[in-house]
Structure formats: C-alpha cells, structure tokens
Amino acid sequence: MTNRVALVTGGSYGIGAAAAITLARDGCDVAVADLRRETLVDTVKSIEALGRRAVAVELDLREQASIEAAVGAAVMELGTIDVLVNNAGVPQRKAALDVTRQDWSLVMEVNLAGTFFMSQAAGRYWIESRKAGAIVSVASTHGIVGLAMSTTYGVSKAGVSHMTRMLAIEWAQYGIRVNAIAPASTETPTRTGLSDPSKRDLFLARIPLNRFGSVQDMAEAIAYLAGEKAGFVTGQTLVVDGGLTSQ
C-alpha cells in the first residue's frame, strides 16, 4: 500500500486509531478524523513516527457540510484518497422499551447515515476523478446475532453490512471495492462493561477462542480488505469474532 492515502474516521482511539497506524505501517499516508481535532494528536504522532504523512481533520457525521469538508481537506492536504475507513460510531445499550426517538435518531444518524454519506462523498470523488478506491466500514456482530439491550445499535450495524453489499454492486463498475468487518467484543476504552468481572466472564463464555478481540485484530482485518491482497473481494462483511457467530 506504499504511497496510498487513507481517510479513517473515529481515529482518536480504539479500532480507528489502530487502523490508521496499521495502514501507515503498510505504507499509507493517513488523514484521521474525529469530532475534535485535539483528540487526534497521539494518533498523528504515531503515524508520523512511522515516516508517513498525517493530517488531523474535524468531522461531525451528523452534518453533510462537515462530511464534504473532511473529504476535501484530506484531498487538499495529502493529494488524494485511495481508502476510506468508516469507523466512527456511537454505542447504545438500552432496553428496547426505554429507547426514545431521540436515542434512535442519534444512533441511526451517526452509525448508518454517517457511514453512507461518508461513502457517498468518497465514491463521488473517485468516480469524478476516474480513480479506483476501497471502502472498509466497521459493522458489528450485533448486526448478525440478536442481543438484549442493543436493539438500536444492532439495527444500525446490520444496516451497515447490507449497505456494504448494495454499494459494492453499484460501484463495482468504477473499480470501487466496498467491504466491512464485524467485530465481536473488543477491548477498547468504550467497552466499559468488560471491566466488570461478572460481565467479562459472561461475554467470554460465548467466544470459542476464549479471549476478547484486540484493536489490532480488527486493524489487521481492515488493512487486508483495504489492500491489494483483497483486490477480488467486494461486498463482504468479514466477521472477526473468535468464533462467536459460528455457534
């Protein structure tokens, strides 16, 4: 992936930061995006330490102007975009009977609409400039199997997986590949429930490999789908779950 350019959303920590750094390791210059530019300082430093160029971009997935500005900033600062990683999203753990329209709207606006319109902006850039491109979105096993207290989040991630299939078919003619990964429980700063020993044991019992995923597990899957070794792979959601959904 030498001398390619990636744009990674939600790049301040967790899977997004790991993906950005791993893509830099593999030869990409990287634009990392998040709600606040100052949260991206560590990720930018890690990318630059690998000898690659990095730029921090502010992005609010609820605002179309912000999405278009983020893509434009990445192209202006780094010359182009070859890879888009749709990682940014919001979690929600709430009983279905307690979900409000505001709760529903926030999750769908960020996780589903945000992923779509980021993909649209990148797709439009590639089609208009007659360039091939690769999109990798972060879905979830919550979008594959049922789980209590996660209806809204699970529906949004199921939508990401199906969106991946739809866009892959529509944009294949332009040389644009569209894939996703579906992580199971991954140890990140937002997975606060995993710090509770009883919850850890409950979650762990469901994973045949008997461990939680790491952000690096997910980053390597993203890097594979973004790279040339996956050149004949499109429309797929790669499940990275330690065997969880195989049962």
DSSP sequence for 121-147: HHHHHHHHTT--EEEEEE--GGGTS--
Residue 64 token pair: 């179309």
Catalytic residue among 125, 153, 174, 224: 153
Q: At a CB cut-off of 8 Å and minimum separation 6, what does 85 contact?
A: 6, 7, 8, 9, 16, 19, 20, 23, 135, 136, 137, 138, 222, 226
Residue 200 token pair: 């850890």
* Strands 4-9 and 83-86, sheet pairing: parallel
Contact 54, 23 (CB under 8 A): no
Active site residue 153: yes
Contact 39, 51 (CB under 8 A): no
- Rounded (5°) CA angle 13-34-196: 35
Q: What is the amino acid identity at position 137?
A: S
- For the annotated catalytic residues, the residue numbers are 153
